Amino acid sequence: MNVLSEVISAIDVVVLMSVNPGFGGQSFIRNTFSKTEELKNLIIQKNSGAKIEIDGGVDLKNASELVRCGADILVAGNTVFSSTSPSNTIAILKEASTQTA
């Protein structure tokens, strides 16, 4: 996060990749939770309006924890599009996100 500390006030969105970039369906990297918390603390400390976006491996099991850690935007492509009911899956993700916010 040291790289961001000097410019975080000028940034609108920080994307944290929670998988190795390349293709969908990869496993979530658990270290993302602590990175999200660290980034959220930096944003608060610097009085920045930056949003935190998590991209990759977001699913029904980790969405609420990511929001609790400070995530504002979740990219859950594989979870939604591989679901038998994408609209229901989106509703569940939204519910999980609002319960911890």
**In total, how many domains does the chain have?**
1
The one-character DSSP state at 71 is -
Q: Residue 46 sits in which domain range?
A: 2-100
| Percent of the chain whose predicted confidence (pLDDT) is above 70 | 96
Question: DSSP letters of 1-18?
Answer: -HHHHTTGGG-SEEEEES
Q: Which residue has the tokens 């994408």?
A: 86
For a pLDDT cut of 90, what percent of the chain falls above it? 79
Summarised one tens digit per residue, pLDDT across range 33-46 is 999 999 999 999 99
Which CATH number belongs to the domain containing residue 40 in this structure? 3.20.20.70
